[in-house]
Amino acid sequence: MKTTILSTLTTATMLTGIAFAGNDNGQFESKTEILKWKDGKQAVFMLEFDDSCVTHVKNAIPELQKRGMVGTFYINPGNGPFKNQENAWENEIPATGMEYGNHTFTHKGVLTKEEFDKEAKQCNDTINKCFSQRNKRRLISFGRPGGVPWEISNEENSAVLKKYDLVERPAFFGYPFHVKTKDEMLQLVDKALDKGEMGHHDFHGVGGDWLSTPMDMFIALLDKLETNKDRLWITDPISYHKYLTERNETTISIIKESKKQIEIKLTCKSDSELYDLPLTLATTTPENWRKCTIQQGQLKTTLPVAGGRVVYSANPLTSEIIIKSIP
């Protein structure tokens, strides 16, 4: 038996962690790959909201909820707008599936590393209080406040982010600075789909407050996302960051294979305490397979085989996966 492992193959479609297994006796050769985006989606889109505006609570979140979409809210718990809706931010919104990001406690900017440490910690403490059922260490998205002084070095900035498990989000991009019309806003979705990459729009007020996106533009964007939801992974910046990191740091090798069973092994180099998002894998199977079981540790699922391959979710921490044909 000859086995070839290509641990970090990069192809035109940017698939990494592909493993092929060959067999000299002319028997079946399987191939397993990590799909570029979760659930095999074509592209990614993220909606981000800054400054804990009152209109996020009143206007944006109800519209997201109606569509079952996630938004990420970069809160400033030390400021008036947050306090105005404190009960909603702390007790109601966390149960709706929305995510929170750290936008510092007061949005005043920082002059020293010590100030940033305090601002980052106090905001994280509020986020952790809001999501008190998540009692495990986890990554939190960080959005640096704009239009205020930020007088610390990149090294000091990175040290504080690392200390509090903060991951800096992609640079702010949104209305009215980078996007001026409804058409331009909708084109962000088409661009993400065309490139097969991540797109995002960042908001301040929605239908009110400051730098406010008009309600009709906001609704048009959500409707466009909803129309394309089968092709788009609409998610939050931490899930995106985890998938991307794990995809790049996971290798797959074939342990054993026959016409009835394929055994593979995942090796993920990312910190397993923080990087625990399931990856989406596809394994090619012999032609006559119609259904199979996927076993990962104690977890066993049954899935259909379509077009000679099975697509499944795999925990990067699982290590061994056994795929078995069901006659």
Chain residues in the site for Zn ion (CB under 5 A): 50-51, 145
CB of 195 to Zn ion, least distance (A): 27
CB of 311 to Zn ion, least distance (A): 39
Q: Using an 8 Å Cβ cutoff, are 72 and 237 in contact?
A: yes
Q: Given the complex with Zn ion, which of 36 and 56 has the nearer CB atom?
A: 56
CB of 19 to Zn ion, least distance (A): 44
Q: Given the complex with Zn ion, which of 48 and 50 has the nearer CB atom?
A: 50
CB of 316 to Zn ion, least distance (A): 33
CB of 74 to Zn ion, least distance (A): 7
Buried b (16+ CB within 10 A) or exposed e, 41-76: bbbbbbbbbbbbbbbbbebbbebbeeeebbbbbbbb
Name which of 175, 160, 220 is nearest 49 in CA terms: 175
Q: Given the complex with Zn ion, which of 145 and 199 has the nearer CB atom?
A: 145
Q: Given the complex with Zn ion, which of 109 and 145 has the nearer CB atom?
A: 145
Q: Given the complex with Zn ion, which of 103 and 182 has the nearer CB atom?
A: 103
Distances (CA, A) of 302 to 11, 242, 306: 30, 26, 13
Which residue minimizes CB distance to Zn ion? 50
Q: Given the complex with Zn ion, which of 76 and 296 has the nearer CB atom?
A: 76
CB of 172 to Zn ion, least distance (A): 8
CB of 130 to Zn ion, least distance (A): 18
Q: Given the complex with Zn ion, which of 89 and 289 has the nearer CB atom?
A: 89
